[in-house]
Amino acid sequence: MNRIEPRASIIHTPDFESGCVRVLRGRQDRLTRAEKAALLPFTRVAEADATTSSGDESLSFVERIRKRHRTEETKVRYEQLKTIPPTSNAVERFFSVARVTLGQQRHGLHPPTLETILLLKESRSYWDASTVDSLN
């Protein structure tokens, strides 16, 4: 199984992840009950325009009821999902950097050493040679 799929084994809450994927792809009408429950804190009900126009008198009784039913429907929006960073993508990039940087040598390193090297490599924008030299 691919590690970056919405239902991959490394995903903490698969329903939330797959729900986010569906909403961000514009397919929120296909959400399952579990996905809707997981996304509940991010819902925002869009206010429907309940005003009736003056031209409604020319419509038949059935057309007015259908129109009222359409306007009374509330649509759920998930506004804040666009601000959630895709964590699994960041982790995949980190693993890719580890593989490219250290190659097969990473298997021979102790875990704390590997962690330190990768931490320094990923946070290199916060330090340079003069910072390291000032520590001596």
Q: Is residue 3 part of a domain?
A: no
Cβ atoms of 43 and 78 closer than 8 Å:
yes
**Structural domains in the chain (count):** 2
- How far is the C-alpha of 35 from the C-alpha of 33, rounded, in Å? 5
116 and 73 in a single domain? The answer is no
Q: Quote the CA–CA distance of 95 and 132 in Å, as a whole number.
A: 25
Written as six digits, the tokens of 35 are 């996905």
Better pLDDT: 47 or 35? 35
> Would you say residue 9 lies in a domain?
no
Q: Can you give the residue range of the structural domain that contains 20?
A: 14-77
42 and 67 inside one domain: yes
Same domain, 72 and 109: no
- In the three-class reduction of DSSP (H, G, I as helix; E, B as strand; rest coil), residue 45 is classed as strand
Label residue 50 by pLDDT band (50, 70, 90): very low
Q: Give φ, ψ of 77 to 5 degrees.
A: -115, 150
Q: Tell me the CA end-to-end span of the chain in Å, nearest whole number.
A: 47
The yes-or-no verdict on residue 96 having pLDDT over 50 is yes
Whether residue 64 lies inside any domain: the answer is yes
Quick check: helix, strand or coil at residue 106? helix
Is the Cβ–Cβ distance between 39 and 78 less than 8 Å?
yes
For the cut 90, the answer to whether the pLDDT of residue 34 exceeds it is yes
pLDDT of residue 33: 94
Whether residue 21 is contained in a domain is answered as: yes
22 with 63, same domain: the answer is yes
- On whether both 49 and 98 belong to a single domain, the answer is no
